Chains A and B, each alone.
Chain A
Amino acid sequence: MSQQLAIATYGLTKRFERHIAVNDIDLQVKSGEVYGLIGPNGAGKTTLIRMLAAAEEPTKGEIYINGDRLLRDDSNPHLKQRLGYLPDDFPLYDDLTVWDYLDYFARLYRLKQPHRQRRIYEVLELVQLGNKRKSIISTLSRGMKQRLSLARTIIHEPILLLLDEPVSGLDPIARMQFRQIIKILQEAGMTILISSHVLSDLAELCTSVGIMELGFLVESTSLAELYCRLSRQQIVMATLGELDSLQRELGKNPLVNEWEIIPGKNSLKVSFAGGETEIAQLLRSLIQAEIPLTEFHCIQEDLETIFLKLGYQQAS
């Protein structure tokens, strides 16, 4: 079974002293997926990713990458060729130019000419650093260094990318650029495991998510399944008239569970249990009750709300 999976772990455990940072995790990620790992600080995300990248020795358990056992020695060079790992800090060599840095890693990953040169151009274009290729690394901005690190991570065309907090500390434009690059890599068929505290980014990028708490993987499912199971349907309504009359009318409808007033606006966010037909009937009844509606549209609860609603807030 493990051969169909990009990542499979069995009983993966890591202890620091008596504290169990990662506890008996059985993680399975299918090929081609973008898997988001979320959880509070200290939940064990970084330790898990470091073990998957062979940067940390597991206390116990086994890791399989595309069906091959991952060990922390020099016995599996072909497996290392398939892995790309970007940690949350990204140390670089300040004395090299952007080109020489990528050339160095391309050689370490045994890329031969002319493929090596072509590949360096490709990744420089992808991370939008083509015009900086002759610059010394110490002169780059934080966002550029982050993108250069990503370029280093993908220089050897890995089939599995492990990204630990890749957008932390980046400004909104740099984050957007980073998201776009990840989408391109996903389209290229890479399996990506990404941890982040920016849940809106994960909601946009991921096909599956895993939630970690106190070292346990408490949830691991596809994003669609998670929304289906846990996301409530909500309707945003705004009126020109009194909110009280709108609330009175809503109180008459048995499918309306609850509502909350959106501060600063004359509008409500309504939890509604019905389907599309019932939503249409609700709209009709409000218009018949002469409520001067200016806005009426359906939204779904976002990933952040679902995460908070699940109650996984406690740091270990």
Chain B
Amino acid sequence: MMDNILNWNPQFFREIKGRVKQRNIIIASVSSVVTQLLIVLYYLGELPDIDLGVTQRSRYCFGFVKSYSSQHLCETDRLGDWVINWQLFWLDIFICLSIISIFSLLVVGTYMLIADLTKEESKGTLNFIRLTPQTASSILTGKILGVPIMLYSVILLALPLHFAAGLNAHIPVSLIFGFYAATIASCAFFYSAAILLSLLNFAPVGFKAWLGSGAVLFFLVSATGIAMHTHSVSNTALDWLIIFYPGRVLTYLVDATYLSNTTVDYFHSNGLTSLLFYGQSWWVKPGMGISLILGNYMLWTYWLWQGVKRRFHNPTNTILSKEQSYWLTGWFVAISLGFTLQTTRNYHLFHNFILLQCFLLVMFLGLIAALSPHRQTLHDWARYRHQLGKEGNKLWKELIWGEKSPSTVAIAINITIAVVYILPSLFLFPFKGDLSHVLWGLLISASVILLYAIIAQLILSMKSPKRAIWASVSILSLIIVPFVCLALADASLGDATLVWLFTFLPTAALKHASLSTVMVAILGQWLAIALLGFQMTRQLRQAGSSETKVLFSSSNVN
């Protein structure tokens, strides 16, 4: 059977051969067993001491509990034995093991995958694999299964204790498997993101692994904190982020034990039931809720995989094709708007909408990075477009669908898709007096994003090896500097409204802006877009001129 598995995926075979060594197996086994032992010993230490006769308090006793304390007074039965809440004891061990497993799998696994792939890319060995008849999916699935193989074995060794703890906590088996499914799906999602990150050329080789795993660690720490909190649902688009945390499923498992919220004191049962999507409460039933969480992971793993496949075979490709970006924007806006429209209260709606704009900004920054070709590709496109064009040599077709054309028109189309999708909800939901502010806000932030896109594309056509870093720094400066200036000037939303209208969050200040200020801001942004567009066209024309033309023009200058 082992031979069949190894034959199935050559990359998995290579990782097994390189990593499964006696020394590694011993280290993995010992670390898993020792960790389990330490966890069990810690929780056993929380039980009342058998030999100690004095009054004792413990989380696992049933007696009187003081207010603002989780420690119950311990009592004995008629035989003199301590009465212990064993269900809670096992639930604590189950949850502790679950969270440690999630952190280990996602943080350490992400680090290992990025470190391995960036090392292969920098050494040049990945090129040989690219030249074989294997597909990207086959190679990278082998990597995902094989690179963290020792980490998997550590987790698998802890599985019997985890499962037994779950059963002793009276958690239904189906829900335990639901949690396992969510954890596996989260691994697929985060590992695909890790692979995509390692195939991008934007940072030093050693830094990428720390950056990727650091970002995952930050997300998990924040999400665990929020998910364990009593009020873990904010009824904003932020709730969407939290369902990317596999530990979110644990809410259903804790709820299924029928232990009271005050006894358990984490993963409260209202954690997911109050979550809405387009006003519908889909997360009330565990089966449906877990399925939606799995569906969310699958959808975004699919999109990450599209980028991974393109970059694996051709590292000079943009991460997404223009056509793919239109679909991706559709999905993103549809889902984020679903979580934005969780309330019908005017005040909340307005703030939810501002948060939605932040989400859209992040998505568009990602799209700008994913769609903008770099200098060489742009120059080749400008020079040989007429000979290579697959779109019938029509410029507008090239700009909308072409693989190597500049990204600006495609970004403009993506913005249009987002605006067209969001607009009806503005009229259907009770924004009342805020409607005009939200409408203008949408228009101005669309212009600002288009401005960012064209600036990024211009910088990416610069003659500098660090153009990607320059582009990132410039755009981030454009986003952050206005806010820093406003903060330093101690300006409120009512002051310097024109400056506010040049940030990515103009909606907040629109309540205080006059129509003339709004018009000045829009005209200013459009003028900037037109000038930068003109500059880019000029640059591309220059890059597209033939060698003979360049020679003649330089000799004319001389």
Q: Assess whether A80 is in contact with B387, with CB atoms less than 8 Å apart.
A: no
> With an 8 A cutoff between CB atoms, is B127 at the interface?
yes
> Measured between C-beta atoms, what is the minimum distance from A252 to chain B in Å?
54
> Measured between C-beta atoms, what is the minimum distance from B140 to chain A in Å?
12
Q: Assess whether B463 is in contact with A96, with CB atoms less than 8 Å apart.
A: no
Q: Assess whether B384 is in contact with A59, with CB atoms less than 8 Å apart.
A: yes
Q: Assess whether A18 is in contact with B388, with CB atoms less than 8 Å apart.
A: no
> With an 8 A cutoff between CB atoms, is B132 at the interface?
yes
Q: What chain B residues lie within 8 Å of A272 (beta carbons)?
A: none
> Measured between C-beta atoms, what is the minimum distance from A119 to chain B in Å?
15
Contact residues of A between 77 and 107, Cβ < 8 Å to B: 77-78, 80-81, 83, 85, 87, 89, 91-93, 95-96, 100, 103-105, 107
Q: Assess whether A93 is in contact with B125, with CB atoms less than 8 Å apart.
A: yes
> Measured between C-beta atoms, what is the minimum distance from B300 to chain A in Å?
23
Known contacts A18-B550, A60-B388; A78/B314 CB under 8 A = no
> Measured between C-beta atoms, what is the minimum distance from B131 to chain A in Å?
6
Q: What chain B residues lie within 8 Å of A80 (beta carbons)?
A: 131-133
Q: Assess whether A108 is in contact with B129, with CB atoms less than 8 Å apart.
A: yes
Known contacts A57-B316, A60-B384, A95-B18; A85/B13 CB under 8 A = no
Q: Assess whether A83 is in contact with B314, with CB atoms less than 8 Å apart.
A: no
> With an 8 A cutoff between CB atoms, is A216 at the interface?
no
Q: Mark A242-278, 1 if CB is under 8 A from B, else 0.
A: 0000000000000000000000000000000000000
Contact residues of B between 347 and 397, Cβ < 8 Å to A: 375-376, 379-380, 383-384, 387-388
Known contacts A55-B127, A93-B125, A107-B10; A15/B132 CB under 8 A = no
Q: Assess whether A15 is in contact with B17, with CB atoms less than 8 Å apart.
A: no
Q: Assess whether B131 is in contact with A17, with CB atoms less than 8 Å apart.
A: no
Known contacts A17-B376, A96-B17, A104-B10; A73/B133 CB under 8 A = no
Which of B7, B131, B383, B387 meets A107, CB within 8 Å?
Answer: B7
Q: Which residue of B lies closest to A81 (CB)?
A: B133
Tell me the bound Cα distance from A80 to B313 in angstroms: 13
Q: Mark A105-131, 1 if CB is under 8 A from B, else 0.
A: 101111000000000000000000000
Q: Which residue of B lies closest to A113 (CB)?
A: B7
Which of B125, B135, B375, B547 meets A91, CB within 8 Å?
Answer: B125
Which of A18, A72, A103 meets B313, CB within 8 Å?
Answer: A72
Q: Assess whether B13 is in contact with A109, with CB atoms less than 8 Å apart.
A: no
Q: What chain B residues lie within 8 Å of A171 (beta carbons)?
A: none
Q: What chain A residues lie within 8 Å of B375 (beta carbons)?
A: 17
Contact residues of A between 1 and 58, Cβ < 8 Å to B: 15-18, 20, 53-55, 57
Q: What chain B residues lie within 8 Å of A92 (beta carbons)?
A: 125
Q: Assess whether A78 is in contact with B384, with CB atoms less than 8 Å apart.
A: no
Q: Assess whether B132 is in contact with A72, with CB atoms less than 8 Å apart.
A: no
Tell me the bound Cα distance from A287 to B380 in angstroms: 68
Which of B17, B131, B383, B550 meets A53, CB within 8 Å?
Answer: B131
Tell me the bound Cα distance from A16 to B376 in angstroms: 7
> Measured between C-beta atoms, what is the minimum distance from A87 to chain B in Å?
8
Tell me the bound Cα distance from A85 to B384 in angstroms: 28
Q: Assess whether A100 is in contact with B17, with CB atoms less than 8 Å apart.
A: yes
Which of A89, A104, A105 meets B17, CB within 8 Å?
Answer: A104
Q: Which residue of B lies closest to A50 (CB)?
A: B127
Contact residues of B between 107 and 137, Cβ < 8 Å to A: 123-125, 127-136
> With an 8 A cutoff between CB atoms, is A147 at the interface?
no
> With an 8 A cutoff between CB atoms, is B14 at the interface?
yes
Q: Which residue of A lies closest to B17 (CB)?
A: A100
Q: Which residue of A lies closest to B545 (CB)?
A: A18
Tell me the bound Cα distance from A107 to B133 in angstroms: 10
Tell me the bound Cα distance from A60 to B376 in angstroms: 13
User: What number of B residues sit within 8 Å (CB to CB) of A?
Assistant: 35
Tell me the bound Cα distance from A73 to B312 in angstroms: 9
Known contacts A60-B388, A110-B133; A93/B18 CB under 8 A = yes
> Measured between C-beta atoms, what is the minimum distance from A94 to chain B in Å?
10
Q: Assess whether B124 is in contact with A72, with CB atoms less than 8 Å apart.
A: no
Contact residues of B between 298 and 350, Cβ < 8 Å to A: 309, 313-314, 316
Q: What chain A residues lie within 8 Å of B123 (beta carbons)?
A: 91
Q: What chain A residues lie within 8 Å of B13 (beta carbons)?
A: 103-104, 107
Q: Which residue of B lies closest to A99 (CB)?
A: B17
Most buried by A among B127, B135, B463: B127
Which of B11, B18, B124, B135 meets A96, CB within 8 Å?
Answer: B18
Q: What chain A residues lie within 8 Å of B10 (beta carbons)?
A: 104, 107-108
> Measured between C-beta atoms, what is the minimum distance from A139 to chain B in Å?
16
Q: What chain B residues lie within 8 Å of A89 (beta carbons)?
A: 124
Tell me the bound Cα distance from A228 to B557 in angstroms: 48
Tell me the bound Cα distance from A92 to B127 in angstroms: 11
> With an 8 A cutoff between CB atoms, is A187 at the interface?
no
Q: Assess whether A73 is in contact with B314, with CB atoms less than 8 Å apart.
A: yes
Which of A17, A73, A85, A110 meets B379, CB within 8 Å?
Answer: A17
Which of A16, A17, A91, A105 meets B132, CB within 8 Å?
Answer: A105
Q: What chain A residues lie within 8 Å of B387 (beta carbons)?
A: 60
Known contacts A73-B313, A73-B314, A74-B313; A108/B547 CB under 8 A = no
Tell me the bound Cα distance from A108 to B384 in angstroms: 36
Q: Which residue of A lies closest to B126 (CB)?
A: A91
Q: What chain A residues lie within 8 Å of B316 (beta carbons)?
A: 57
Tell me the bound Cα distance from A60 to B377 in angstroms: 12
Tell me the bound Cα distance from A87 to B17 in angstroms: 25
Q: Mark A62-76, 1 if CB is under 8 A from B, else 0.
A: 000000000011100
Q: Which residues of B contact A (CB under 8 A)?
A: 7, 10-11, 13-14, 17-18, 123-125, 127-136, 309, 313-314, 316, 375-376, 379-380, 383-384, 387-388, 463, 547, 550
Please name 18 further chain A to chain B contacts, defined as beta carbons within 8 Å, in addition to the given A103-B13, A108-B132, sorted by A numbering: A15-B383, A16-B376, A17-B463, A59-B384, A60-B384, A74-B136, A74-B309, A74-B313, A77-B133, A81-B133, A87-B124, A93-B14, A93-B18, A93-B125, A96-B18, A100-B17, A108-B129, A108-B133
Going nearest first, the 5 A-B pairs with the smallest beta carbon separation are A77-B133, A107-B10, A108-B132, A91-B124, A80-B133
> Please, could you name 5 A-B residue pairs with CB atoms under 8 Å apart, sorted by A?
A17-B376, A55-B130, A73-B314, A107-B13, A108-B134
